[in-house]
Structure 1
């Protein structure tokens, strides 16, 4: 096999590379990390990056940006690929490229799914704000931006609000506490669920459901599930068989299940 590294003329190098198979190229590249060799490998396999990039269309990031990230992932794959392992390069490169794309989405993507129309308008609003700030020598008003973009003020406000979800704010971010010694963190301003709400809801559910039980069913319910008596003990007190108590339990549980399904619906 011709040693490409010994070629001196650039055109000769290019022509020599095109005559090599993929396997020969990777073998050459493993011996001599030549930029020309890598460029030829990238050129031959750039279609993989293009195909994988198209799988992420309309997901919040421009195709051009995704394609650049995918191309970079292709270079990483070429650098790491070992032809001696016996794998097909496409099989090796695909997860590497997808991994880079997903990483880019985690770092640069919208944290909440926003309609593409709003995403595009948000970009225009940001550009308009910078342009109008220079033109007006002040911070532009919503009215100014709406007139500049020829859209409604509501649309501008919607786009500005949506842009806040592009990157989630850290709960550790601090705010000035109006002259107080200690600043306030965002986590201190966010309300949290009161655990007592669940207890109130559960108690209310139990009371309403128990109103639909007869006296015997209420006694069985309390003795079995609150007083922790055995079925035999409850049966002796009611002078019935243990099987009867077992059937009543199932009937009571079924009534609770039906009431629960009603509340969920």
Structure 2
């Protein structure tokens, strides 16, 4: 690892650009320098952005979700232990999602509900408590409407909307009529989350690219990111198309071996 004094890093953020992520985590664990943490945050903000987009149009503004996700990223950086052998993205993803879900549980409605209905729902709940004590029985819809000075239809609308404020637990079980195992709500809903694959694939590619030389990196970027042909790349590098083809196969084989190694861990 390159030798740069912590005091120097405090003064010069650019000096951190030469470090890879593992080196930065080691430095941060040793120094707790906020400049190092900020650099790690900048490098991994894409995880917070990807995960935040999963929760748009659910009753809370994207900017608020992104702030919560970014805070979750900071928590993940603070708690991450490089010595445990985990990839940071695998550790950070559930941490960030946990913070987002906690924010929705504390602040949000599970679906978007107009502000006027949210406010009326709160008033209806308060009115039911007051009227229950006053009338010594559960109030009727008409009683609540008269107390609040609104229509019975508005009260019903607010009561229906309040049902979406608290989502059902995924652990909720359903009777399966004699089956050995009850069916849980989590078994009935949901789908594979492609965002996890996006994050893992991006980290895998970045890790493999760190092990390539400059020519190999150029070939990969030109061929698979810029969609250039082998002939175009060969002409620019001053070699034959066959040379590019052979190098491309060797690079892909390196990626394949690295993927096999990771799966065997």
TM-score (norm 2): 0.46
| Pair member with larger Rg | 1
